[in-house]
Amino acid sequence: MYTHIFGPVPSRRLGTSLGVDLTPTKTCSFDCIYCQLSRTTTHTNHRNEFCKADDVLEELRSVLREVEQPDWITLSGTGEPTLHSGLGYILAEIKKMNNAPTCVITNGSLLHLPDVRKELMLADRVLPTLCTVNQSTYEKIHRPVSSVEVSANLEGLRIFTETYSGAIEIEIFVCPEINDTDQEIEGLSNYLASLKNIESIYLNSAVRMPLEKEVKTADQGKLNKFRDKLNLPIPITTAFEHSFVPAKASAWNRPALSSDILKLLLRHPCSKEQLERVFNASSVQIDKLLNELVKNGTIAQEKDGSWALIGQVNG
C-alpha cells in the first residue's frame, strides 16, 4: 500500500488526477470551518521535510507504471503541500519524468515566502484558495495559525501572479452569510481585478459535509449571484458545473484492494462508477470491496449515492 500517492482521482477541475500527499494527515496552516476531512491536528506554518522527497518520488514512479497516464499529477491531499520543504525538488524531479503536467492545490498562506513562490514556479498549474480580503472573515473561515495574516497572503499572491507563467485558477469557497455579503464580494472583486495572469476562478461550496455545522451550502442559484456580483472579465465556474466521472477507465494493471479504495475515499468521496473507472474494475469487483469496507464499519453511502469514510458522510 502506497503512503504518499493516491488515485487517480476523478477531479471536477482536473479530469484524471494522480495525487501526491506531502504531509501527515491534517497538517496545515489552516483549520477551515468548511474542511470536508477532519479538524487540523498539526497546526503550523513552519516548513519541514515531513517525508523523504526521494521516497515520494520512488512511490510515484511505481504508481505511474501501474496506471494510464493521468491528466495531471497534483500535489494536494490531506494537508498543505507548500509546508513541505522539498516541494521545489519534488516538482523538478516530476518534470524530469516527462509523464504529466503538475498542479499544486494550495491555501496560499505561505505565498508571502520567496522560497515558496520560487518553488511553485516549477508547477504547470497552481490553484490557490482566496475566500476574503478581510482579516476578521479570514480568521472566521480559515482559523489560521496566529501569525498568518490575510494581508501577507494577498501580497504574496500578487507578487506570484506577476511572474508566474503557468495557469492560475483562484478557488473561492463560498460560505453563505459569512463571505457572500456585498461588501465581501466587492472586496474580492477589486482585489482579483488587480491581479495579473489569472486564468479563471472556481466557486466552490459545501457539497460534502463540512467540519462545522454552521457552514451552509451555496446552491447553484447563490453561486450564480456571487459570480454576477464579482463581475470579472475572466471565466468563472462553479462546483455544480463540472462532471467528475473519468471519460475512460484507467490502465490500473493489478486487482484493486479494499485498502486502495479506503485511501482514495480518505481524500475524495467517490461514486461506484468513479471507482470502477479509477481502478479499471468491474461492477461486481467494486461491489465486493465496498461491501467488505461497509462490514468493517469504515465507509458509508451518502444521500447522493457516493461513498465516503464514516465521519465524513453527508447524510
Cβ-proximal residues to 63 (8 Å cutoff; 6+ apart), any chain:
2, 5, 18
Give the per-residue pLDDT at 315: 47
pTM over 0.85: no
Question: Which residues in the chain show pLDDT less than 50?
Answer: 243, 247, 313, 315
pLDDT of 67? 85
How far apart (Å, rounded) are the C-alpha atoms in residues 229 and 29?
A: 30
Please, what's the b/e burial string for 107-136 (b: 16 or more CB within 10 A of its CB; e: otherwise)? bbbbbbeeebbebbebbbbbbbbbbbbbee
d(CA 270, CA 115): 35
Contact (CB, 8 A) for 206 and 141: no
H-assigned helices in 79-134: 87-97, 114-120
Report yes or no: 163 and 126 within 8 Å, Cβ to Cβ.
no
Could you tell me the domains of the chain? 5-244 (3.20.20.70), 257-315 (1.10.10.10)
Give the model's pLDDT for residue 175: 95
The burial class, CB within 10 Å (0-12 / 13-18 / 19+), for 18 is: buried
The whole-number pLDDT of residue 305 equals 75
Cβ-based neighbours of 146, under 8 Å, separated by 6 or more: none
pLDDT at 221: 92
